[in-house]
Copies of this chain bind each other. A is one copy, B any other.
Amino acid sequence: MSGETTKAANLGRPRSEQLHQAILTAALDLVLEMGFRVVSIEAIAAKTGIAKTTIYRRWPNKAAVIMEGFLTELRPASFFPEAETALERIRLQMHVTAEAFRGRDGALVKALLAETQFDPDLAEVYRNKWTLPRRKLVIDMLEAAITQGALRPDIDIEGTVDLLYAPIYYRLLLGTGPISDAYIEILFAESMKGLQANIASSRHRKQ
């Protein structure tokens, strides 16, 4: 089996790894320079001097190219910073995400996420390679926080991930306000304390 694979793989001229990298780099550069829409396979080919055929041999369309470039470049980022408690690590990671979304990564996420609305294949790759792995990390951390007694044990984990992170994506896409550190603090604090007027403490004040 591996023999067959090797045999097939060895046939003919091997694909150039250099070209692979050059294409991915050029693709991301173009997206950031000119915007996702303007970028085309044609433009990538022109910028790199690589033939369109060579690009199409490896990816089905520009979204796939950009997606791979995006995943290649960003995967190592956004792990959770070290801290005393799991809850604190979550808070810090929300800041890291915000920081990233304010910069070039935000632009890429924006464009790719938008593009996934029109391309189910792309959506699946995005979900499996970007969204779900990151959610998994958050879920693990939330469970640790529960174990540590910081969070109520009866919370809905999936819903909680959404409560904490959805607003960050919302501002990225809707542009209703900046994804500032202050914003993250508000989100985190209100999620934790809850919005409800605390009857217990009102009573306290009355006392």
Are B114 and A190 within 8 A (Cβ)?
no
- Bound: A158/B182 CA distance, A: 12
B37 touches A195 (CB 8 A): no
User: In the complex, how many residues of chain A place their beta carbon closer than 8 angstroms to a beta carbon of chain B?
Assistant: 56
**A57 contacts partner chain B, Cβ-Cβ < 8 Å:** no
Of the candidates B123, B153, B190, which one forms a contact with A156 in the assembled complex, judged by CB atoms under 8 Å apart? Answer: B190
A166 interface contact, C-beta 8 A: yes
| Other-chain residue from B36, B127, B207 in contact with A174 (beta carbon distance below 8 A) | B127
What are the residues of chain B within 8 A of A131 when measuring CB–CB? 174, 176
Is A198 close to B, CB under 8 A? yes
> How many copies of the chain does the oligomer comprise?
4
For residue A87, which residue of chain B has the nearest CB? B196
Q: Which residue of B lies closest to A172 (CB)?
A: B117
A186 CB within 8 Å of chain B? yes
Residues in chain A within 8 A of chain B (CB atoms): 35-37, 110-111, 113-118, 123, 127, 131-132, 135, 149-153, 155-156, 158-160, 162-163, 165-167, 169-171, 173-177, 183, 186-187, 190-198, 200-201, 204-205, 207
25 contacts between A and B (CB under 8 A): A35-B118, A111-B117, A113-B114, A113-B117, A113-B174, A114-B114, A114-B115, A116-B173, A131-B174, A132-B176, A151-B197, A152-B193, A158-B177, A159-B186, A159-B190, A160-B190, A162-B171, A163-B167, A163-B191, A166-B169, A166-B170, A191-B194, A193-B196, A200-B205, A204-B207
